[in-house]
Amino acid sequence: MARPDDRTVLLNGYRGGVELGVVGAGRMGLAAAPVFAAAGFGVALSSRRGPDRLATLASGFGPDVRAVAVSEAMGAPMVMLAVPWSEVEALLAAHATTTGAVLMDATNAWAGWSPTRAASGSSEAVAQWTNADVVKVFSTVHARRLAAPDGLAVPFATDVPSAGDRVADLLSRIGFAPVYAGSLAEVADTMAPGGLLFGRTTSDSVLRTLISGST
């Protein structure tokens, strides 16, 4: 008897023709898209400039990356949000996600140039603005590191365990070691710019020790 495709089982069918949505085609979105595609995912890449102006850029990443409208990317079962903080609330008000979707919040609420002035708890605000299950992830990782997964730890936080499982699986598949850092409230300071977990490049065991010491 044929074995089921483990990717289909683990990712609830994402590989059966369904893509990951990426909203924002700047440093973070353009780092993520080819990494997701290299791991075998389709990518629906979008930005403010619209699919026609993104098409050439997207096609440079190969056949698995398509340029789409923001509304289409937001309709994917897992969506990475990678736009400036100032855009987030209005964008989420304008574009609903599908039922049961996971929103991977990569944004940081910078309040000026200084990390010490960044707002904490921004993903809790995001969770208020969307119908999706929010997972705070990639926000602590520099775009250059996201572009070249190193097998080291990437923290994520969520209030929805099933959404966290899906993101942990995605992180593993693209080449990072997923580490659950806590609920959105628990990471309000530690995952914010300037926080304990922000910009850390370390092993999963060291990251877990840092997290347990911070609670």
Ligand X SMILES: NC(=O)c1ccc[n+]([C@@H]2O[C@H](COP(=O)([O-])OP(=O)(O)OC[C@H]3O[C@@H](n4cnc5c(N)ncnc54)[C@H](OP(=O)(O)O)[C@@H]3O)[C@@H](O)[C@H]2O)c1
CA proximity to 77, closest of 56, 54, 104 = 104
Select the residue interacting with ligand X from 25, 65, 170, 188 (CB under 6 A): 25
Greatest CA separation for the chain: 59
The neighbouring-strand residues paired with 158 are 135
CA distance 126 to 69: 21
Please answer whether residues 101 and 79 qualify as being in contact, where contact means their C-beta atoms are separated by less than 8 angstroms. Answer: yes
Least Å distance, CB 58 to ligand X, is 12
Least Å distance, CB 111 to ligand X, is 11
47 binds ligand X (CB under 6 A): yes
79 binds ligand X (CB under 6 A): no
Select the residue interacting with ligand X from 22, 67, 79, 106 (CB under 6 A): 106
CA proximity to 21, closest of 87, 56, 66 = 66
Select the residue interacting with ligand X from 142, 189, 194, 204 (CB under 6 A): 142
Least Å distance, CB 195 to ligand X, is 12
Question: What number of chain residues touch ligand X (CB under 6 A)?
Answer: 25
7 binds ligand X (CB under 6 A): no
Q: Which CB sits closer to ligand X, 70 or 184?
A: 70
Q: Which CB sits closer to ligand X, 15 or 142?
A: 142
Please answer whether residues 65 and 33 qualify as being in contact, where contact means their C-beta atoms are separated by less than 8 angstroms. Answer: yes
CA distance 61 to 71: 21
In the chain, DSSP finds a helix count (H) and a strand count (E) of 9, 8
Judged by the rule CB under 6 A, the positions of this chain that interact with ligand X are 23-29, 47-49, 70, 82-85, 87, 91, 106-108, 110, 139, 141-143
